[in-house]
Amino acid sequence: MSWYGWGDPARTAPLDPGLRDLVSQVLRAPLAESPPVAEERVELAPSRLGPGVGAALAEAVGADHVRRDDAVRLRHSGGKSTPDLLLRRAGRADPAPDAVVYPADHDEVLRVLRVCSEARVAVVPFGGGTSVVGGVTPLDGGLRAVVCLDLRRLDRLVSVDPASMTAVLGAGTRTPRAEALLAEHGCTLGHLPQSYEYASLGGYAATRSSGQASAGYGRFEDMVVSLRVATPRGTLETGGPPASAAGPDLGRLLLGSEGTLGVITEVGLRVRRRPERVLDEAWSFPDFPTGVEALRVLAQSDARTTMARVLDESETFVGAAVAGRPAAPGCQAVLAFEGAPAEVGARAGAARGLLSAAGGTPLGPEAAERWRRDRFAAPYLRDSLLSAGVLTETLETAAPWGALLPLYAAVSGALTGALEDGEGGAVVMCHVSHTYPTGASLYFTVVTAAGAAPLERWGRAKRAASEAIVAHGGTITHHHAVGTDHRPWMAAEIGPLGGEVLRAVKAALDPEGVLNPSKLIPDP
């Protein structure tokens, strides 16, 4: 992966001149080239890892799997949020880990945790490195040094149970490899977040990820049937039977723990047969409230979709402009149905009746198929915009259906109010991408002039949006996780007693506090 952008640097291209002019006009600001500095100019502090700890880590995983060179440390100096990329593009990799360690299995992870706990060295688990909320920023939490624990070598299919339709995989397995391994058994996970190409299964579990097909396959946490977790105190293994009443479910406590309570090394997952048919459809609605109401009716019906999302007017227009197509009025929705042919036909037919009655107009499959084809290109467009001096970032939340549109208005207004100033304008886009019988998510994308101080500019907007989310009954995060970015609002989300519970669990599993410090868990 690129050290200054999203993924493969070869997939990032300069902005099309026509699009560049359009962006400049809409943002009321001239665009200026803003390339990243040369890699050799990036500033990294010297490694603080003492020789004794380095030798102990080498004994734990092998000397070849403990790296302290600048190139490796730079590529583990944070995630892929716009602030992360702005810092690295400007030549700042602070903080950077003091070493990167590559364990091969669960036992080696345990040995690394034991060494670091005894030496009071922080450990930051690293799967695909795709966090956009500071989840893999190598903070030392006041400890002597920080080690990045890269889990890429934990990438095997441990077992498949075709009778139970479950599989156990190493936590470092990235999604394309997981799908290839499962395909050999005729199975799929059906988990397709935008980070699909790079993110790891352990990362999905640790952050309670949600993919584009969540309406049909569920969130990632719904797929998890067991976990194997390494902690400084030893091993925790959860799950196995299909259901249990043996007290609270410890697995649910570890899901979403973001590496602060333990390191997930193996994930047992419910798998599905690969679908015989995939049907994509696009729809148009006269306005966003009408489209949202249509998705509510659909989510509360028996016409189960695999995917359902509706874009607001701004995102519909911008999507067409980026693709070089004329924009249709109103809002676009994209739907998908997967399964056996007869089942897909029946569910799609029922959905069409509901959507038509709710004010929708069918557009056929082409727009939805195009959206699916371009799905993983959006982060590369962000790289191109950053190189042109344009700031773009995303944030997300979720709320009950009754609160969704007031929340949408409040967050949109907060972002616009924070960014519309003398340095330029802002475009705020939103879509509903995950629906439930009781509510849905809102996913915002912001494009604005970078200004003289882009980090401060985005920080101001992010704070305003987060305060609006909390004030209007939304969750501070639906699927991006907490990390450092959302931690200031965790106390409001879970309450003082909830914070005390998390701190007590951490003290039991990680008494020296070495696991991913300064993330997720609110201060007392």
Mean pLDDT of the chain: 96
* DSSP secondary structure string for all residues of 180-195: HHHHTTTEE-----TT
Given CA atoms 336, 375, 486, 410 in this order, what sign does their dihedral have? negative
Alpha helices in 34-105 (DSSP H): 51-61, 70-74, 82-89
Report d(CA 18, CA 393) in Å as an integer.
Answer: 22
Closest CA to 80 of 172, 174, 194: 194
Intra-chain end-to-end CA distance of the chain, in Å = 37
Q: pLDDT at position 323, please?
A: 81
Q: What is the pLDDT of residues 15-53, one digit of tens each?
A: 888 889 989 999 999 998 999 999 999 989 999 999 999
- Bridge partners of 448? 391, 426
Report d(CA 189, CA 217) in Å as an integer.
Answer: 8
* Residue linked to tokens 């500033």: 43
Confidence band, pLDDT 50/70/90 cuts, at residue 321: confident
Q: Looking at the domain that runs over 30-150, which CATH code has it been given?
A: 3.30.43.10
Confidence band, pLDDT 50/70/90 cuts, at residue 140: very high
Structure tokens at 286: 């006269």
Q: Maximum distance among all alpha carbons in the chain?
A: 70
Confidence band, pLDDT 50/70/90 cuts, at residue 161: very high
Q: pLDDT at position 327, please?
A: 76
Q: Cβ of 186: how many Cβ atoms within 10 Å?
A: 11
Same fold, 30-150 and 277-373: no
Report d(CA 485, CA 193) in Å as an integer.
Answer: 20
Alpha helices in 28-166 (DSSP H): 51-61, 70-74, 82-89, 106-119
Q: What is the pLDDT of residues 388-441, one digit of tens each?
A: 999 999 999 999 999 999 999 999 999 999 999 999 999 999 999 999 999 999
Q: Tell me which DSSP letter residue 511 carries.
A: T
Q: Tell me which DSSP letter residue 94 carries.
A: -
**E-state strands within 83-155:** 99-101, 122-126, 146-150
Q: What is the mean pLDDT of residues 51-62?
A: 98
Report d(CA 33, CA 14) in Å as an integer.
Answer: 10
Q: What is the pLDDT of residues 451-488, one digit of tens each?
A: 999 999 999 999 999 999 999 999 999 999 999 999 99
Report d(CA 501, CA 518) in Å as an integer.
Answer: 16
- pTM beyond cutoff 0.75: yes
What whole-number percentage of the chain has pLDDT above 90?
A: 91
Alpha helices in 218-257 (DSSP H): 220-223, 250-254
Confidence band, pLDDT 50/70/90 cuts, at residue 137: very high
Residue 205 has pLDDT above 90, yes or no: yes
Calculate the CA dihedral of residues 163, 165, 166, 172 and round it to 10 degrees.
Answer: 130
Residues present in the chain in total: 524
Q: What is the pLDDT of residues 105-136, one digit of tens each?
A: 999 999 999 999 999 999 999 999 999 999 99
Structure tokens at 372: 């699916």
Q: What are phi and psi of 237, to 5 degrees?
A: -125, 125
Q: pLDDT at position 44, please?
A: 94
Residue 325 has pLDDT above 90, yes or no: no
What whole-number percentage of the chain has pLDDT above 70?
A: 100
Expressed in percent and rounded to 5, the helix, strand and coil fractions of the chain are: 40, 20, 40
* Options 3.40.140.10, 3.90.930.60, 3.90.660.10, 3.30.70.3450; CATH of 277-373: 3.30.70.3450
Q: For the chain, what are the domain ranges?
A: 30-150, 277-373
Q: What is the mean pLDDT of residues 202-216?
A: 97
Q: What is the mean pLDDT of residues 348-357?
A: 97
Q: pLDDT at position 266, please?
A: 98
Q: pLDDT at position 72, please?
A: 98
Q: pLDDT at position 149, please?
A: 98
Q: pLDDT at position 433, please?
A: 93
Q: Do the beta carbons of residue 133 and residue 209 sit within 8 Å?
A: no
Q: What is the pLDDT of residues 268-304, one digit of tens each?
A: 999 999 999 999 999 999 999 999 999 999 999 999 8
Confidence band, pLDDT 50/70/90 cuts, at residue 244: very high
Q: pLDDT at position 1, please?
A: 84
Q: pLDDT at position 263, please?
A: 98
